[in-house]
């Protein structure tokens, strides 16, 4: 299948690499290099996970003892696995990101990072990690838009219906504003809870909530990018609504296990208002179209993520149990 995507065509090289360096833990024990998983024959090794782990304190400006490596490894492994699956999909569908576009995205990312970490300086290997993440994200978005973009079309009738519902909202409608970090689980909530506890430790040390959320949250919500909106209470899960009723404004809460969502969450409650207090105006047609399109795209993205993780393009090898969540396919 070929997509109409405005990017230059090139072939990605699949590089088999194992040993880059031999990392040393604080107790002087060497971490062994072995393959945890393969994505279309390209390996993910313990050193890939270790390199990302060493990078965490720098980009979040927090202290993380090296002895806690195995606590963070499942989250990091899942992130790398998802990126490799997305990049493999890009190769399959001949989706390529021009070097200039990748560089522009990197500079934008770095500028945003320096808002919270003005003195940060990245090593070549760290820049390589970030650019691979950005390439995976750009490739993934190109794939979604190229294959399903026509499904996201919003008609004039849908915009009119949105406006009608907007003007019919009662003045007593209650709204909540919040941010969230979500880790979904299938069979083992205690594993997700353990990972979220580590993330909470980073937040308690002062790591910016939106920055941490954008890296670790598995939800497609825009709140993870720091874009917090006024959400009607009736649209929230009852368990989540109960959490907010007991939360202090501006403080981070959690982690909590939400059984209905099969998820573990950390949230920050940012305010509550009535419809009449918001003094909102109905968005223009272009914004309504963007809102409805985003909702459809979000739903499709989740379906495609599930397909990737349930597919046959990767294999997790025996002996890697302590590096990844048991929710993933073995």
112 C-beta neighbours (distance < 10 Å), count: 13
The pLDDT, as a whole number, for residue 26 is 38
Residue 225: band (very low, low, confident or very high) from pLDDT cuts 50, 70, 90 = low
DSSP string, 194-251: HHHHHHHHHHHTT--HHHHHHHH-----GGGGT---EEEGGGS-HHHHHHHHTPPTT-
Beta bridge pairs of residue 314? 39
Mean pLDDT of 190-207: 92
Mean pLDDT of 17-43: 60
**Which residues lie below 8 Å from residue 255, measured CB to CB, with a gap of 6+?**
193, 196, 197, 199, 200, 264, 265, 266
Q: Which CATH class is domain 1-152+283-330?
A: mainly alpha
The pLDDT, as a whole number, for residue 11 is 22
Q: How far is 213 from 179, CA to CA, in rounded Å?
A: 9
The pLDDT, as a whole number, for residue 287 is 95
The mean of the pLDDT values for the chain is: 84
Residue 226: band (very low, low, confident or very high) from pLDDT cuts 50, 70, 90 = low
The ranges of the chain annotated as CATH 3.10.50.40 are 157-278
Q: What is the CATH code for 157-278? A: 3.10.50.40
Mean pLDDT of 39-56: 92
- Residue 227: half-sphere exposure toward Cβ, Cα within 13 Å: 4
- Residue 191: half-sphere exposure toward Cβ, Cα within 13 Å: 19
Q: Kindly compute the dihedral angle of the four CA atoms of residues 133, 135, 138, 140, in this order, to the nearest 10 degrees.
A: -80
- Asked whether 101 and 131 are in contact (CB, 8 A), the reply is no
Tokens 């490799």 found at:
84
Length of the chain: 330
Residue 224: band (very low, low, confident or very high) from pLDDT cuts 50, 70, 90 = low
The ranges of the chain annotated as CATH 1.10.4030 are 1-152+283-330
Q: How far is 77 from 36, CA to CA, in rounded Å?
A: 9
Edge to edge, the sheet with strand 35-39 lists 42-45, 35-39, 314-316
Torsional sign, CA 281, 269, 292, 142: positive
Question: Is a pLDDT exceeding 50 seen at residue 14?
Answer: no
**Which residues lie below 8 Å from residue 25, measured CB to CB, with a gap of 6+?**
31, 66, 67, 69
Question: Is a pLDDT exceeding 80 seen at residue 306?
Answer: yes
Question: Is a pLDDT exceeding 60 seen at residue 99?
Answer: yes
Tens digits of per-residue pLDDT, 261-289? 899 999 999 999 999 898 888 999 999 99
Question: Is a pLDDT exceeding 70 seen at residue 189?
Answer: yes
Beta bridge pairs of residue 182? 265
For 30, which DSSP code? Answer: B
b/e map 137-176, b = 16+ CB within 10 Å: ebbbbbbbebbebeebebeeeebeebeeeeeeeeeeebbb
């Amino acid at each position: 299948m070929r997509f109409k995507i405005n990017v230059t065509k090139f072939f990605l090289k699949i590089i088999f690499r194992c040993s880059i360096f031999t990392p040393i833990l604080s107790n002087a024990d060497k971490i062994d290099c072995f393959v945890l998983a393969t994505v279309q024959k390209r390996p993910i090794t313990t050193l890939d996970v270790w390199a990302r782990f060493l990078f965490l304190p720098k980009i979040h400006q927090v202290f993380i003892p090296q002895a806690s490596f195995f606590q963070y490894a499942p989250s990091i492994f899942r992130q790398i696995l998802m990126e490799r699956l997305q990049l493999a999909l890009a190769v399959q569908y001949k989706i390529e990101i021009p070097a200039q576009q990748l560089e522009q995205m990197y500079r934008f990312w770095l500028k945003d990072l320096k808002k919270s970490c003005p003195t940060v300086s990245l090593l070549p290997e760290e820049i390589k990690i970030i650019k691979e993440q950005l390439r995976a994200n750009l490739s993934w978005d190109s794939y979604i838009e190229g294959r399903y973009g026509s499904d996201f079309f919003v008609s004039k009738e849908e915009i009119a219906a949105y406006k009608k519902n907007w003007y019919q909202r009662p003045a007593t409608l209650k709204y909540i504003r919040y941010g969230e970090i979500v880790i979904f689980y299938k069979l083992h909530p205690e594993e997700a809870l353990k990972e979220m506890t580590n993330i909470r430790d980073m937040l308690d040390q002062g790591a910016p909530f939106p920055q941490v959320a954008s890296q670790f949250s598995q939800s497609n919500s825009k709140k993870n990018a720091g874009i917090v909106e006024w959400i009607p209470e009736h649209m929230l899960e009852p368990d989540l609504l109960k959490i907010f009723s007991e939360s202090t404004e501006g403080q981070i809460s959690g982690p909590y296990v939400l059984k209905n969502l099969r998820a573990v969450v950390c949230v920050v409650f940012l305010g509550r208002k009535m419809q009449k207090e918001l003094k909102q105006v109905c968005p223009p047609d272009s914004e309504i179209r963007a809102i409805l399109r985003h909702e459809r795209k979000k739903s499709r993205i989740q379906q495609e993520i599930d397909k990737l993780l349930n597919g046959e393009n990767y294999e997790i090898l025996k002996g890697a149990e302590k590096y990844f969540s048991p929710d993933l396919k073995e």
